[in-house]
Structure 1
Amino acid sequence: MAQRIRDIMTADPITVTPQTALTDVARLMRDEDFGEVVVSEENHLRGVVTDRDLVVRAMADARDADSTSAQDVCSSEVVTCAPDAGIDEAVHLMREHAVRRLPIVDGDELVGTVSIGDVALERDPDSALAEVSSARPNR
């Protein structure tokens, strides 16, 4: 059983730049079946955009998705975790901050992401969350 975040994280996550248009962010989320995209610049974390951010911070305000950028709606105060942290520490951070995903940073460099589904697959592969997390995308 894995003990460290680096053992279960998705390395080299797909990212967008702060200037990426929301239309492109949404397409990437759809095409890659992600609920969150990391915003980075030169491999440094700048924020995250979730599917909820697209709805609450863009669509609800009738923003134009072609002229609104990722940096306009992203959460910039992001909870992160180190790759050498224990999985229990990541679980604690997710609970404490009510987040489902954590960017993984080594110093100031973005090196991966980990989701609550990744943790569930590792810790309790027979759980309902693990089953949902491992299911094929519903497209």
Structure 2
Amino acid sequence: MRVRDLMTENPATCTPDTEIPEVARLMAEHDCGVVPVVRDGNRVAGVVTDRDITIRVVARDEIPNTVRVAEVMTEDPVTVSADADVDEAIRTLTEKRLRRVMVTDEHGGIVGVVAQADLARHADPETVGEVVGRVSEPTPTASETTRA
């Protein structure tokens, strides 16, 4: 089975210049927690998540309509080809500890998003448990990694 068979197609996208309230509206309208950031047409430049908005805007008392996506997005996100085997997507999510990955065409253009839940519907229960367990492991906070 290929990633294209499981992915959510044609996700809502934004550009690095998009203001945060517009991205939040896109997330609400499309019932999603991630919006791919594109430039040069449809090429993936990054991603912005609801967590990015919470941690990098709200928690810092920033005024949302003064913040652009470029200031909070994760640049150069991990991607997987739409033609890749589902097992490759599972490995990518597990190794990189991701909940979702951007799906691209042969030119690097965004064509979809595949999430843990998409894979869970088609993978064996043991594999699903491994992916969820690995991705859900806590990561050290900034203060924990800078302690002497």
Give the TM-score, by structure 1 length: 0.83
CA distance in 1 between counterparts of 2:24 and 2:93 reads: 24
> Which segments of 5 or more consecutive residues in structure 1 lack a partner in the other structure?
130-139
Q: Aligned-pair RMSD on alpha carbons? A: 1.8
Percent identity of paired positions between Structure 1 and Structure 2: 38
Q: What's the offset of the Cα at 1:124? A: 5.4
Question: Number of matched residues?
Answer: 125
Whichever residue aligns with residue 112 of structure 2, its letter is: G
Query: Is 1:117 aligned with 2:126?
Result: no
CA distance in 2 between counterparts of 1:46 and 1:62 reads: 26
State which of 35, 38, 48 in structure 2 corresponds to 1:37: 35
Q: What's the offset of the Cα at 1:123? A: 2.5
Deviation beyond 4 Å, 4+ runs, structure 1:
none
CA distance in 2 between counterparts of 1:64 and 1:84 reads: 41
Secondary structure (helix, strand or coil) at the match of 1:102 reads: strand
CA distance in 2 between counterparts of 1:27 and 1:124 reads: 35
CA distance in 2 between counterparts of 1:64 and 1:18 reads: 17
Q: What's the offset of the Cα at 1:46? A: 1.1
State which of 11, 30, 35 in structure 2 corresponds to 1:13: 11
Q: What's the offset of the Cα at 1:122? A: 2.4
CA distance in 1 between counterparts of 2:113 and 2:11 reads: 6
Which stretch of the first structure deviates more once superposed, 82-91 or 57-66? Answer: 57-66
List per-residue Cα deviations over 1:35-64 (Å, max 9, x = no partner): 111111210111101111011111122221
Whichever residue aligns with residue 109 of structure 1, its letter is: G
CA distance in 2 between counterparts of 1:88 and 1:124 reads: 11
| Partner of residue 139, structure 2 | none
- CA contact 2:38–2:45 (8 Å) conserved in 1: yes
Whichever residue aligns with residue 48 of structure 1, its letter is: V
The alpha-carbon distance between structure 1 residues 31 and 124, as it changes in their structure 2 partners (threshold 3 A), is farther
| Partner of residue 143, structure 2 | none
Whichever residue aligns with residue 50 of structure 1, its letter is: T
> Which segments of 5 or more consecutive residues in structure 2 lack a partner in the other structure?
130-148
| Partner of residue 85, structure 1 | 84
CA distance in 2 between counterparts of 1:12 and 1:36 reads: 13
